[in-house]
Every structure is written in C-alpha cells, then in structure tokens.
Structure 1
C-alpha cells in the first residue's frame, strides 16, 4: 500500500509538472512578439477566412493580410465583405477575393470550391459560427434553429477542411485554425446545442492534427471564452473579455504551441480555474442556479450599457 501511494503521489507530481511546463510556455509566448510573418507566408500565398464579415473573422482577415498573405473573405453579407476587402487592400496592399455564402445552408460548397480553384491556400480559419441565444436558454426554446446551428458550426468546419486540406497535403504544408469555444471544454447546461457543436470542433480538430502533423500541416483548435463581437452583443471589454483584434493578435503567438489553446493567457487561466471545479459540484442545482443568475445579470448589464 505504501508503494502504491508513493507511485500515485509521484504520478500526480509528474502531471502537475507537465502542466506547469505547458503553462510556462504560454507565459513566455505571451510576452514575445507575434509569430513572424515569414512563418505564415511560408504556408502559402492565400488565407481563407469564413465568417469574415464581423468580429473574430474580420480581425483575422486584417491581421493575416498585415502578415503579407492574400485573403479570401467568405460570409453571407456581400456589402460588408466588399467594404472590408477595399479597406484591407488599401491599408495592407494584399490582394483580396470575396465569396458570398450562407453557411446555414448545405448547398454552398461547390460554389466555394469553384471560387478557390487555383489558389495556393496556406491558411484556413474556420471561424463562422452561430449562437442561438446569448442569454442562457433551455434547449426547447432554441430548438427551431438547431439545423442552422449544426450546418454553421459543424458542417462548415468539415466541408471547408475537406476543400482545403487535400491541397495542403499535396504541398506538405499548411495551417488550419478552427475557432471553437470555452463552453466546449465541458458540457454547459442552457447552452447545450452550442456547447455540443463546439465540442465536435474540438474533437475533430485534435484528431485531424494527429493524422496530418507528420505531413507538415498544423491543425489547431481555439477555445476562447468571452470576446466582444456582434455575436456577443459587444460585451464590455475587460481583462477577461477581449476585443476581437486583441484576441486574434495574441492567438497568433500560440500557433505552434499544440493542438488546442484558448487563444489568450487570460482565458487559459480561466479554463484552469473552471477545470478545478469537480463535475458533481459544477452541475449541482445550487451552483447552476448561482451561475445562471450571475451570468444573466452580467450579460443584461453589459448589453443594456450599449
């Protein structure tokens, strides 16, 4: 029994050491400059960004163009994309291609594939996503939108990855960033469909990374918590709630850190704290009522101040 307890103790210490080493890499990279543009350009000439009309997708479009890549912007609203494309071309000198597509539909991928034909795509950002309700809601209150959520959050990632990955594999280089969410790291009641759809993105991305990492392709999933975007009704920014630009710039520092990252140091710390809460406690009625009340008050306060 003594030997068994000693072995368990050593194993726990080893796990803690590994976690500390991993976290120290975040601390080191968070104070470094962003990934050199030459690294991103070495992946290929073009970057493709879905959901590029607003928020995180728009921020990635500008940031990747600043790193010297030409960009393909894909989103539903053509007028928004045209304005963004003009600004990117004027401020960065990069070439921009616009593709209008509604990711809540299934019949768009032949058109997208045709528009991407002949482009050397080095970076794909699967960013497009749909949140049925920002305020916590029971599943039956939002189930009318379930098919749209599945197409937007799941089908888009699978189909866009299929379109781009085969060419990356033949060139033996490429970078795919899949934007998931912190609520994918454990099941979140009252965000059940959104949480589950983003959990799919996590599992899919990490499995693909193992399949293709020896072929020179990086596939990374990002699991941010609160980012101030149109989807989150422009939550007030803070040390935890980042602007889209802040999040994107910091996330590019961690591109080579591994298959999964929260994308910013503040969210990594928050994830560690939340993971310390045992499931039995986290899902207890008392804690769920407390979280629901506090989170609803926080969201309503933030939204009403806009």
Structure 2
C-alpha cells in the first residue's frame, strides 16, 4: 500500500478519541471509510461531518466488539455490502487504573475480549483478502504501557504487550507479501480514555489524537513494524533495558500507587 486515496479503511472504536482522529485523517487522504463502535448515534454524526467536510463515502456499522460473535458479524455485514477492506485500524480498547483486586473478573474478561480477542479475530478475518490483492495495511493501537512494567494497570498493559508482540510477529510473516503491519504505541493522549480508566494523569504530558493518527498512518505507509509516539516516551522505553527490572518496577509502583490510591 503506497497511497490511501480510494482505499477502503475500517476503523474500530471510531466514535471518539484516536479512532475519530483516524477517521478525519483518512478521509482527508481520500479513503472510503467503514466506521464501527457501540454508539451508532455518534458514528452517524461523525459520518455526516466527514461527508460534508471531505466528500467522503462513509459506511456505519454499530458493533459491540466485547461480544464474542461481534467480529464475525461485522465481517459478514461488510462483505455483504460488497466492500473489501484495504486498511484495518484496530483501535477499540479500554483499560483501568486500579488495585488489581478492586476490579471484577467480569470486567477483566471484557477488557481482554476487546483489547486482544476482537483484534486477533478481525485481523484473521481481513488478512486473507489483503493477501489476495498482495496489498493492505493494519494499524494495531498498542500503548507505551506495552514497553515497561505497569503496576496498578497490569491487565491493560499486558493486553497491549500482546498487541505489540502480535503485530511485530505478523509484520515478520507478511511484510514481504505486500502487507504493512504497524503496532502504534501512544502514551498519554487527550481522549476520554482517562475518565473511563479512572486515570489520574495530572502532571503528565499528552499528545492530541490528531498527532497520534497522523504519525500512525505515516509510519504504516513507510513500512515500520512499530512506532512510539513522542521523543520522551521513546527515551522512557529504554529504561527497563538499562536499569535492573526490579528497580524499575519499584519506581513505577511507587508513582502509580500515589496516583491510584491518593
């Protein structure tokens, strides 16, 4: 994939935040969009806005990807519409900043279903079509939390470590077959994630969703396997390599304890 113009892009979690930013940037670049999220009203509002601003053709499919059957149902809807996905942006996901035992197993199950299982299923469903055309792109939204120990955000960060490892593995398998697969690792971003995650990000620098989307698309088109957003985050990613892991864990644990428990 050398250009976005005229390509069909599927974006999950498209109703707000980074997903919405991807929708705007891809529309600006001439893509045909398929937007999915739970909130159909938000998707329809966004579709109208994108069509008015860019003249973009937009398809809207509401889906709750926490439900195990949702990826297959979404795939069927897209195929029945006669669409072939050229670019898949696996953006949907959520996390929680909390003491491990203060969250329910049911909530962790939902988190892992959305952050990992839905992403793997959608990738498995759409890669064959990309291989048939010997072209395609996938942007899997991971996190800088995938790169370091994360006490008090353990399940979320572990899920993003999976996304990073999975994406790099697929990059190794399919980059020579015409596919461009990127793990995008943003840090703190100005979205609604913080309120959902109960994340106390006071004093932390943050990037705009537009910046994350712009860099993600450029990095994917360049054929990169992963991209960390922000120079400070890039430097931070090296800390576990140069200091004893036990030391890093203790430092992060102390910092996060204060943010989670006050």
Which residue does 1:56 correspond to in 2? 18
**In 2, distance between residues paired with 1:211 and 1:243?**
32
Which residue does 2:120 correspond to in 1? 158
Which residue does 2:215 correspond to in 1? 250
State the structure with more CA Rg: 1
**In 1, distance between residues paired with 2:201 and 2:257?**
18
Q: Secondary structure at the match of 1:121?
A: coil
Which residue does 1:205 correspond to in 2? 167
**In 2, distance between residues paired with 1:270 and 1:237?**
18
Give unmatched runs, 5+ long, in structure 1: 1-36, 301-306
The structural deviation recorded for 1:228 is 1.2
Please, which of 223, 234, 237 is the counterpart of residue 271 of structure 1? 237
**In 2, distance between residues paired with 1:95 and 1:83?**
14
Compare relative contact order (CA 8 Å, sep 6+) and give the higher one, 1 or 2: 2
The structural deviation recorded for 1:259 is 0.9
Answer yes or no: is the 8 Å Cα contact 2:28–2:54 preserved in 1.
Answer: yes
The alignment yields a C-alpha RMSD, in angstroms, of 2.4
Q: Secondary structure at the match of 1:58?
A: helix
Q: Aligned ranges for residues 1-20 of structure 1 at < 5 Å?
A: none
Q: Aligned ranges for residues 75-154 of structure 1 at < 5 Å?
A: 75-117=37-79, 118-131=82-95, 133=96, 135-154=97-116
Kindly tell me: are residues 56 and 196 of structure 1, through their superposed partners in 2, closer, same or farther at Cα, counting changes over 3 Å?
A: same
**In 1, distance between residues paired with 2:53 and 2:204?**
29
Kindly tell me: are residues 253 and 266 of structure 1, through their superposed partners in 2, closer, same or farther at Cα, counting changes over 3 Å?
A: farther
Deviation string 1:56-108 (CA, Å, 9 cap, x unpaired) is 01110111010000100010011000000000110011100001000111111
Kindly tell me: are residues 276 and 257 of structure 1, through their superposed partners in 2, closer, same or farther at Cα, counting changes over 3 Å?
A: farther
Kindly tell me: are residues 201 and 59 of structure 1, through their superposed partners in 2, closer, same or farther at Cα, counting changes over 3 Å?
A: same
Q: Secondary structure at the match of 2:116?
A: helix
**In 2, distance between residues paired with 1:141 and 1:250?**
33
**In 1, distance between residues paired with 2:26 and 2:241?**
32
**In 2, distance between residues paired with 1:254 and 1:223?**
11
Q: Secondary structure at the match of 1:125?
A: strand
Deviation string 1:248-295 (CA, Å, 9 cap, x unpaired) is 1233332225211113444323323465432021123xx245312554
**In 1, distance between residues paired with 2:27 and 2:244?**
43
The structural deviation recorded for 1:235 is 7.9
Which residue does 2:9 correspond to in 1? 47
Kindly tell me: are residues 278 and 295 of structure 1, through their superposed partners in 2, closer, same or farther at Cα, counting changes over 3 Å?
A: farther
Give the helix-richer structure, 1 or 2. 1
Deviation string 1:23-82 (CA, Å, 9 cap, x unpaired) is xxxxxxxxxxxxxx96223xx621000000110011101110100001000100110000
Give unmatched runs, 5+ long, in structure 2: none
Deviation string 1:186-245 (CA, Å, 9 cap, x unpaired) is 331211111111111111111111111111101110111111111123988999311111
TM-score using structure 2 length? 0.88
